[in-house]
Structure 1
């Protein structure tokens, strides 16, 4: 895992200079603007040094940085209460569980400022298409991406060479690999599909319409769609033979499997190497050492596709308040947190902003832990996040229902499991105030 470097006062002139003078007014015209109004910024502990460095470098802006609990749902609840009270609403907030954007952009909270007219187009264009589309509702962009969890195929390179296995380039080949692995090396696996690691990585990359938002309160859900059933056709047999795990990635039992070198390959996020394989095999008390073993290959391609789409597992975002009294300064801050080169060098995960990602990738190239340099693969996957995977207010319920249906019954009755999942997903979406179509 990359260690944070000491962060000196940020020099963000290059990035903030791109903010044109005409973009200080946004979606909010009801709040009178005051360029001298102080800013309140909510961040998690990981973002605190960067935010405080910015505040130190801009003393005239009177910025207060508050470190908050990043647990999913906490920010939404606190902002909702502050909005009702009419005070204590943060001007900018970092969201580590980005599906919360769907709550914060909608009534009754209506917190998030549409950013289309307040962030210059050349900045917005610097984010890969699939990044901002996830928080775009009815043509309005409500977030700036902080980091990405684009998916790739992680694999144990020397083990593939030792066993004579070919890295799969299609999901048909991925399924064939799982069948072969079960016969030749029982006890080894090709990763996990529990929760978001199945929904976001497999079904998300396929474009299965379960998170396909068409507006802030409208969504397409249809698990009978071929983009869903083709996933079931691949994962069903591998669930049945045990080469796809149903345990959470950070479940102790599965951690032990990683530590023992039992994970041959995994469709996983860009952070999987640094935050799953590496820490779980370091000082684990086993003879397996992952150093020099794993690297990344491109996502396999789903049947019928010409693009090997990526899913997205994780990735934080920044939101700006539509009731901020100093929107220009708030927007400047959010732009700095996502585009400043000094911050890119200190990030532990893949930056969402493409120019910052290039800086991060240059640093990552020197990481000798990998079996081979994964950076080109990570960079390519960042521009291929499937646009059908949006942020929704019912994602937690969607993941729970996925585990209760596809994970529980998919090995024996995938068709029935997908049907049941679709029904539960639609019910959860309707309960969250969505209009559901197929």
Structure 2
């Protein structure tokens, strides 16, 4: 492609002196910085294989790239994708930083907050994540992302990662069950709460969602309620469960746990499928539930013509905002010895027709998103205006949520999941949950407010 040929010429015609200077600093400290790309470039080996780390869900796109680009050697390695805030990405990179070698060329992470550490110098090594808008990628390509998609990966105006997909929360609903029971699609959190009481009384055993996953109550409920429990202002972290929106959401979750319309099962567990595949009346959740749950033959496998996506829930009279669950990020290694191949891979993974075909959720790249939405809408699977609701959600994600170098999922899994399982209410656990997050923030070097 044109961009690749231009970049090859740029790299291969660099003076021997410049390459030597850059190579000397590429293994450890940041040293001399190439003015074109904004980071110290390792000596390039255009024929060297690139190592790509992906989770199981992204392995197919890496394999498709390998098939479509036989001229580019690639080594695909699968890992947990840093799911649940496991910190496996940072832990592995720290080991390579210490040894001064072995870094992968490309990494996919499910966590949008990894930029907070990947853009910093750690252990005497230059930042793992390569700056992408300082000459490495064409600005025309970067401008193709949906507005705001790259914000979590941007530090002081420098883009350090490429968003794979957007994961705004919509309200999924089963039209056949709503019609059978005579219910309307809820539009607000208040409607949702009222529906829970009717459903519990009239059709016990049917549900409106789950809080059993580390991402559920956190990103879906609290973020979607504009509750300031996970905020970052510069280097200051704060968590406020006394805020009105926080309190209302805590009370809503406790109320629905009590009446049985919210459950504690994992959406990825076999028991959830067995017990609730035909009993989910409505459920707030990310757009990627479309492929991961509803159309997945190994999960809910819901028949066509039943499921719809409605606009996100919001507080009556409040901001019409929603939460966001993930939306993975691709990182290019600043240590790569084959930056041309890395660029080609990332453009393919983000914007190619195969990327659209293999996407389980809304792509972050505008042209790919348009194709994906059109395909979904034309498939006949969904009821209602699927594309309109998803587009509304994508532009409504609440901006008050923070992106520190740790994940809220860890504290939720450590404190809330076992606490609820032991019979405690969420209100009983919020003080301990907040303290756990504040301790994590202090360990990471943040000032806690």
Whether the TM-score (by the shorter chain) exceeds 0.5 is yes
The alignment of Structure 1 onto Structure 2 pairs a total of residues equal to: 412
Q: Note if contact 1:93-1:320 (Cα within 8 Å) is conserved in structure 2.
A: yes
Higher relative contact order (CA 8 A, sep 6+): 1
Pairing 1:381–2:393 present: yes
Indicate the RMSD between aligned Cα atoms, in angstroms.
Answer: 3.3
**Partner residue of 2:336?**
324
TM-score when normalising by structure 1: 0.82
Segments of 4+ moved more than 6 angstroms: 15-24, 280-284
Once the two structures are TM-superposed, the CA of residue 364 in structure 1 deviates from its matched residue by 1.6
Instruction: Specify whether residues 360 and 150 from structure 1 end up closer, same or farther in structure 2 by C-alpha distance, changes over 3 A only.
Output: same
1:349 maps onto 2:365 in alignment: no
Tell me, yes or no, if structure 1 residue 64 matches structure 2 residue 74.
yes
**Superposed, which structure 2 residues align to 1:14-33 within 5 Å?**
25-28=36-39, 30-31=40-41
The C-alpha deviation readout for 1:230-278, integer Å capped at 9, x for no partner, is 322322211221111122112333222222x111110011122332234
- Tell me by how many angstroms 1:325 deviates: 4.5
**1:37·1:326 contact (CA, 8 Å) conserved in 2?**
yes
Instruction: Indicate yes or no: 2:95 matched with 1:81.
Output: yes
Q: Does 1:205 align with 2:205?
A: no
**SS of aligned partner of 2:359:** coil
Whether contact under 8 Å (1:344, 1:356) holds in the other structure is yes
Deviations 1:158-208 (A, max 9, x none): 211222211111111111111111111111110112221111111122333
Q: Deviations over 1:33-57 (max 9, x none)?
A: 648474523133223223314643x
Pair 235,128 (structure 1): closer, same or farther in 2 beyond 3 Å: farther
Report the TM-score, using the length of structure 2 for normalisation: 0.80
Name the SS for the 1:268 alignment partner.
strand
Aligned to 1:398: 411
Distance of 2:128 and 2:38 partners within structure 1: 11
Q: In 2, Cα distance between the equivalents of 1:92 and 1:188?
A: 43
Q: 2:290 aligns to what?
A: 273
Q: Is residue 2:62 matched to residue 1:48?
A: yes
Deviation at 1:132, TM superposition (A): 2.1
Tell me: CA distance 1:48–1:325, structure 2 relative to 1, closer, same or farther (3 Å): closer
Question: In structure 2, do the counterparts of structure 1 residues 370 and 27 end up closer, same or farther at CA, with 3 Å as the change threshold?
Answer: same
Structure 1 residues without counterparts, runs of 5 or longer: 1-11
SS at match of 1:230: helix
Match of 1:181 among 167, 181, 199: 199
Note if contact 2:314-2:322 (Cα within 8 Å) is conserved in structure 1: no
Task: Kindly indicate whether residue 323 of structure 2 is the aligned counterpart of residue 306 of structure 1.
Answer: no
Contact 1:19 1:119 in 2 (8 A): no
Identify the residue that residue 232 of structure 1 maps to in structure 2: 250
Give the Cα separation in 1 of the matches to 2:336 and 2:282: 47
Q: Aligned to 2:180, what secondary structure does the other structure show?
A: helix
Specify whether residues 324 and 295 from structure 1 end up closer, same or farther in structure 2 by C-alpha distance, changes over 3 A only. same
Alignment partner of 2:437 out of 408, 425, 430: 425
In structure 2, the CA distance between the partners of 1:165 and 1:338, relative to structure 1 (3 Å rule), is same
Distance 2:297 2:339 in 1: 43
The answer on 1:315 being equivalent to 2:351 is no
In 1, distance between residues paired with 2:262 and 2:346? 39
* Distance in 2, Cα, partners of 1:68 & 1:281: 20
Contact 1:192 1:249 in 2 (8 A): yes
Q: Distance in 2 between matches of 1:332 and 1:218?
A: 38
Q: CA deviation at 1:336?
A: 3.4
Deviates more, 1:400-409 or 1:67-76: 400-409
Instruction: Report whether the alignment pairs 1:360 with 2:372.
Output: yes
Distance, in Å, in 2 between the alignment partners of 1:26 and 1:43 is 23
Partner residue, 1:95? 109
